[in-house]
Amino acid sequence: MTDQPAYDEPARPQVHFSPPKGFMNDPNGLVYSNGTWHMYFQYNPNCTVAGGPQWGHATSQDLIHWQNHGLAIESENADESIYSGSAVVDKENTSGLFDDSIGPEERIVAIYTLHSPKKQVQCVAFSRDGGYTFASYQQNPVIDIGSKDFRDPKVFFHKPSSTWIMAVALSHEYQILFYGSKDLLHWTELSRFQAGLVGYQYEVPDLVEMPIEGTTATKWVLFVSINPGAPLGGSMTQYFIGEFDGEKFVPDDYIVRFADYGKDWYASQTWSNTPGNEVIGLAWASNWQYTNEVPTYPWRGCMSVARRMLLRKVRYNREYFGYSLAQFPVNIEQARNLNNAVTADRVDSSTGMKLRTKSGAAELLFYVSGVSLGNRFTDSSTILIELASKSARISIGLRVFETGAHVWLNRKADAAGWHHPLYNDNLSALVIPENMQCPVYKIHGIIDRGLTEIYVNDVVAFTNIHVLPDDEFADTVRVKLDDNLRITQASLYELHSAWTK
């Protein structure tokens, strides 16, 4: 296992995973096995710019604390790279790659894209030690359609048809292809899907059977990432809700939904083989528009927190109710420093809230209510969350209007002297409250040095990196509010660094 560095650089997230050094992007091969959460990832350990990715590897027992394991899958030829893919536990040895000496939970099969200048093909690697070391399948590739842009296989076991199903992007045709296999090695195309925002290309699909909150029913969710050409610029992940019968994904509608409304949540993937079949996933928290130029050193790139996901029936407007992804940070409460926390049943404009942290990581959780507005066009009320460092400030606000609210972020990097034409200073997303007469907004935030995730009512996730001066992180969190708003059940916690030994 490789050394664990201090992880204390000012921009270094404390409760989010990032590699010790080098450049990281997409999460790969997310698989739970024997009590351990494995995460592989697109990794260039040699420098802080993308290029020639291999699979890095880290593990966690709680999805908060991570241990680095260096490279897990490396390409054999200099002009080849190990692009994104997934991993499963082949408990029944359907692949025949294991024998009885290998415990069922140790039988890990990774399915990834082998990239070369000529083409992209799908390959298999397998691990007989539960995911720590891999060998290449001798008859690779397992799928080769002669395409240069055919990648990011995500595989899961579909019980009703006893078949392994792969979702994979025929990127430049804007098609998600579904393949079926009995052994993870021989694959047959089943169907294709296309819809929504397309940008320059499709990437990293993920088809997931998603629980519907409060029921025993499920729906299928298909995640499709695009880059570049997202509406906000660069990279984003959309999803579709529908049914999957083992052959074909049929969406309930052709509505395009956003998995995250921020600028930095891309190439999401969910874990396979999770306890209780919970859906837990995360994404790379960056954007190809500027990821290679963001001023962090000696690493670039980090993951969002792991999120438990489900579908919730929510209000879209005065009359329409539909499903939406609801997302919940997993185990973040384990990182709370209860000795440095502020809680209050009620907060008003005269008091506000304030917390100073040593770690630069904080969690906030509260409910906003009490909105009473006049003219719907000009009057609005604001909750302001300020993240202050010595010389700079990031602002997050909720601008409440008659029928909803805009959650916004101002992450101007002027104080850091860092400018990038494609790094949007201001971003916003719409939130519709469940009760339009007495709106309540639940705000759950994880503020973590160079990265902030905000969840409003669990259904609007808003993840954005930010850039502060080199030697600073925001150690002070302030919450301010207008007279006609109130905050209830408020908590503001320092979060312990997950990297401190």
User: First vs last Cα of the chain: how many Å apart?
Assistant: 16
Q: Is the peptide bond before 228 cis (omega within 30 degrees of 0)?
A: yes
How large is the greatest C-alpha to C-alpha distance in the chain, in angstroms? Answer: 72
Polymer length in residues for the chain: 501
Cα 184 from Cα 90, distance rounded (Å): 9
User: Measuring CA to CA, which residue among 71, 92, 91, 166 is closest to residue 124?
Assistant: 166
Q: What is the DSSP letter of 304?
A: P
- Stretch of 100-108, 168-176, 178-186, 348-356 lying at the interface with a second copy (CB under 8 A): 168-176
**134 or 258: CB nearest a second copy:** 258
CB of 172 to a second copy, least distance (A): 4
Cα 221 from Cα 79, distance rounded (Å): 35
Q: Report the residue from 2, 410, 484, 488 that binds a second copy according to the rule CB under 8 A.
A: 410
Which of 9, 90, 152, 203 is catalytic? The answer is 203
Cα 412 from Cα 58, distance rounded (Å): 32
Cα 281 from Cα 8, distance rounded (Å): 25
118 touches a second copy (CB under 8 A): no
Q: Report the residue from 71, 145, 197, 373 that binds a second copy according to the rule CB under 8 A.
A: 197
Supply angle C-alpha 176, 179, 183, rounded to 5: 150
196 touches a second copy (CB under 8 A): yes
Q: Report the residue from 85, 233, 242, 433 that binds a second copy according to the rule CB under 8 A.
A: 233
Which of 26, 260, 363, 475 is catalytic? The answer is 26
416 to 455, contacts with a second copy by CB under 8 A?
421-430, 432
**281 or 433: CB nearest a second copy:** 433
**137 or 423: CB nearest a second copy:** 423
CB of 217 to a second copy, least distance (A): 23
1 touches a second copy (CB under 8 A): no
Cα 62 from Cα 37, distance rounded (Å): 8
Using left for φ > 0, alpha for ψ between -120 and 50, and beta otherwise, residue 458 falls in left
Active site residue 99: no
**89 or 432: CB nearest a second copy:** 432
Any bridge partners for residue 189, and if so which?
A: 179
320 touches a second copy (CB under 8 A): yes
All residues at 6 or more sequence positions from 428 whose CB lies less than 8 Å from its CB, including other chains: 399, 406, 407, 408, 409
316 touches a second copy (CB under 8 A): yes
User: Measuring CA to CA, which residue among 374, 386, 403 is closest to residue 481?
Assistant: 386
49 touches a second copy (CB under 8 A): yes
Residue carrying structure tokens 């995360």: 282
148 touches a second copy (CB under 8 A): yes
79 touches a second copy (CB under 8 A): no
Residue carrying structure tokens 């909750």: 383
Q: Report the residue from 255, 342, 344, 440 that binds a second copy according to the rule CB under 8 A.
A: 255
Q: Structure tokens of 248?
A: 């074909």
**353 or 405: CB nearest a second copy:** 405
Strand 266-270 to 249-251 pairing: unpaired
Mark 380-409 with x for binding to a second copy (rule: CB under 8 A) and - for no binding: --x------------x-x-x---xx-x-x-
Q: Report the residue from 78, 99, 318, 435 that binds a second copy according to the rule CB under 8 A.
A: 318
Query: What amino acid is encoded at 248 in this protein?
Result: K
| Cβ-count burial 150-173 (b if 16+ within 10 Å, e if not) | bbbbbbbbbeeeebbbbbbbbbeb
Q: Structure tokens of 246?
A: 């083992």
- Number of residues located near a second copy, criterion CB under 8 A: 63
**247 or 402: CB nearest a second copy:** 402
Residue carrying structure tokens 């600073």: 472
CB 22 within 8 A of CB 48: yes
172 touches a second copy (CB under 8 A): yes
Q: Report the residue from 79, 92, 293, 483 that binds a second copy according to the rule CB under 8 A.
A: 293
54 touches a second copy (CB under 8 A): no
**250 or 338: CB nearest a second copy:** 250
Q: Report the residue from 83, 134, 174, 493 that binds a second copy according to the rule CB under 8 A.
A: 174
Cα 183 from Cα 8, distance rounded (Å): 45
**171 or 327: CB nearest a second copy:** 171
CB of 225 to a second copy, least distance (A): 14
CB of 319 to a second copy, least distance (A): 4
Helix (H, G, I), strand (E, B) or coil at 46: coil
Active site residue 26: yes
Which residues of this chain interact with a second copy, rule CB under 8 A? 49-51, 148-149, 171-174, 194-201, 228-234, 236, 253-256, 258, 261, 289, 292-293, 316-320, 375, 377-378, 382, 395, 397, 399, 403-404, 406, 408, 410, 412, 421-430, 432
Residues recognised as catalytic: 26, 203
